[in-house]
Chain A
Amino acid sequence: MTRRRFCATLALCGLAPGAIATALASEGHELRLGLTPVFLDDQSIFLEAWRTYLTARLQRPVVFVQRGSYREIVDLLNQGQLDAAWLCGFPFVRHERRLRLLAVPLFQGRPLYRSYLIVPAGDTHTKSLLDLRGKVFAYSDPDSNSGFLYTQFALAKIRERSEVFFARTFYTWSHRKVVEAVAVELAQGGAVDGYVWETLQRSHPQLAARTRVVEQSPEFGFPPFVARSTLPAGDFKALQDVLVAMRNDREGKKLLGQLNLDGFTPGERKLYDGIASMAEKVANRP
Chain B
Amino acid sequence: MKHFMRDLSLRYKIPLRVLVLASITAILVTASILFRVYDETRNDLLRHAESMGRLLANTLVGPITHDDVWRAYEIINSPFQGGSLDQTQIAETILLLDTRGQVFVSTQPTQYPMLSEPGRLDPEYAAIVDLATDRNDVKPSVVDPSDSSRLFVTIPVISEGARLGTLVMSYPKSLFMPRFVDIAQRAALMTLLALAVLLPIAWYWGHRMAKPLVRLAGCMDQIGPSVPENLHCDLSESHDEIGRAGTAFKRMLKELKEKEQLEQEIMASERLAAVGRLSAGIAHEINNPLGGMLNAINTFKRHGPDDPRTLKTLALLERGLTQIKDTVAALLVETKVEIHPLSRRDIEDTRTLVTAEAAEKRLELIWENDITEDLPLPSTLVRQILLNLLLNAIRAADKRVECQVYRDSRSFTLVVKNDGTHIEDEDMAYLFEPFSRLSRNGHGLGLWVTYQMARQLNGGIVVESEPGETRFSVALPLQEEA
A contact set with B: CB distance below 8 Å? 1, 136, 138, 167-168, 170-173, 177, 181, 184-186
Contact = CB atoms under 8 A, between A and B. Distances in A.
B73 interface: yes
Contacts of A181: 70, 73
B109 A170 contact: no
A136 B70 contact: no
B115 interface: yes
A168 B115 contact: yes
B105 A186 contact: yes
Contacts of A138: 70
7 contacts: A136-B115, A168-B69, A172-B70, A177-B70, A181-B70, A186-B73, A186-B109
Interface of B: 67-70, 73-74, 105, 109-110, 113-115
A185 B110 contact: yes
Contacts of A177: 70
Contact of B68 (A136, A167, A171): A171
Given A172-B70, A186-B69, A167 B115 contact: yes
A184 B109 contact: yes
B118 to A, nearest CB: 16
A138 B70 CA distance: 9
A172 B68 CA distance: 8
Contacts of A1: 74
A211 to B, nearest CB: 14
Nearest to B110: A185
A276 to B, nearest CB: 28
A171 B70 contact: yes
A173 B70 contact: yes
A170 B115 contact: no
Given A136-B113, A136-B114, A170-B69, 13 more contacts: A1-B74, A167-B115, A168-B69, A170-B67, A172-B70, A177-B70, A181-B70, A184-B73, A184-B110, A185-B110, A185-B113, A186-B73, A186-B114
A185 B74 CA distance: 14
B62 to A, nearest CB: 11
Contact of A168 (B68, B73, B110, B114): B114
B70 A170 contact: yes
A162 to B, nearest CB: 14
Contacts of B73: 181, 184, 186
A152 B114 CA distance: 22
Contacts of B70: 138, 170-173, 177, 181, 186
B68 A185 contact: no
B107 to A, nearest CB: 9
Most buried by B among A168, A171, A186: A186
Contacts of A136: 113-115
Contacts of A184: 73, 109-110
Contact of A170 (B68, B110, B113): B68
Contacts of A170: 67-70
Shortest Cβ-Cβ A-B pairs, 3 listed: A170-B69, A172-B70, A186-B109
Nearest to B69: A170
Contacts of A168: 69, 114-115
Contacts of A167: 114-115
Contacts of B114: 136, 167-168, 186
A273 B113 CA distance: 39
A168 B109 CA distance: 14
A17 B105 CA distance: 44
